[in-house]
């Protein structure tokens, strides 16, 4: 099973910017923890970060037919990007949205996520542990999808 982790704008600055909101961990450290979990669970994981909306859209589109699940932190684009929302909807790859901070306890403009509407779920406010929870969530979703496919195959046999 392959999971693609897509990180949005300014997440390359983790550990440096606003540690009181986002914590002290660098993005590379979060990715290393995710990679260790993936190896322990027989998963392939790929990481991508961009500050550019179009590059994020391109990466989501590349997931179609190549990835079993997407973990995405669109960051500020969560609240503004119809293009990222539409790409997530179009590829029909299960996705979980992650936010390090609790977006619902922040400024009003951060409380609405356009991208959340087309994801299987949202994890917010759990810090880096939110990515770990998202990986567990993707494993669960894929298990359910595979069980449904097996049941259909047995009915058709």
Q: What is the pTM of this model?
A: 0.92
At 108 the pLDDT is 77
Q: Give catalytic residue positions.
A: 22, 99
Instruction: Please state, as a whole number, how many other Cβ atoms lie within 10 Å of the Cβ of residue 115.
Output: 25
- Using one digit for the tens of pLDDT, what is the confidence trace for 48-94? 999 999 999 999 999 999 999 999 999 999 999 999 999 999 999 99
Q: Does the pLDDT value for residue 109 go beyond 80?
A: no
d(Cα 34, Cα 47) in Å, to the nearest integer? 10
At 140 the pLDDT is 96
> Which range has the worst mean pLDDT, 44-48, 105-109, 119-123, 142-146?
105-109
Domain span at residue 75 reads 2-156
CATH number of the structural domain spanning residue 13: 3.40.50.9100
Sheet containing 44-49: order of strands: 44-49, 2-7, 69-73, 95-99, 121-124
The pLDDT > 70 percentage for the chain reads: 98
| Number of domains observed in the structure of the chain | 1
Burial (0-12, 13-18, 19+ Cβ within 10 Å), 108: exposed
Give the mean model confidence (pLDDT) for residues 26-35: 97
């Amino acid at each position: 099973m392959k999971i693609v982790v897509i990180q949005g704008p300014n997440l390359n600055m983790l550990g440096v910017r606003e540690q009181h909101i986002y914590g002290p961990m660098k993005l590379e450290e979060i990715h290393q923890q995710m990679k260790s979990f993936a190896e322990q669970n027989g998963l392939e994981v790929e990481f991508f970060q961009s500050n550019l909306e179009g590059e994020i859209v391109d990466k989501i589109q590349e997931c179609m037919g190549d990835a079993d699940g997407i973990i995405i932190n669109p960051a500020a684009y969560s609240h503004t990007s119809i293009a990222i929302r539409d790409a997530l909807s179009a590829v029909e790859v299960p996705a979980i949205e992650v936010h390090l901070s609790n977006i619902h306890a922040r400024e009003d403009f951060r409380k609405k996520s356009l991208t959340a509407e087309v994801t299987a779920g949202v994890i917010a406010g759990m810090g880096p542990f939110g990515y770990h929870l998202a990986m567990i969530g993707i494993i669960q979703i894929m298990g359910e999808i595979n069980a449904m496919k097996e049941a259909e195959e047995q009915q058709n046999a």
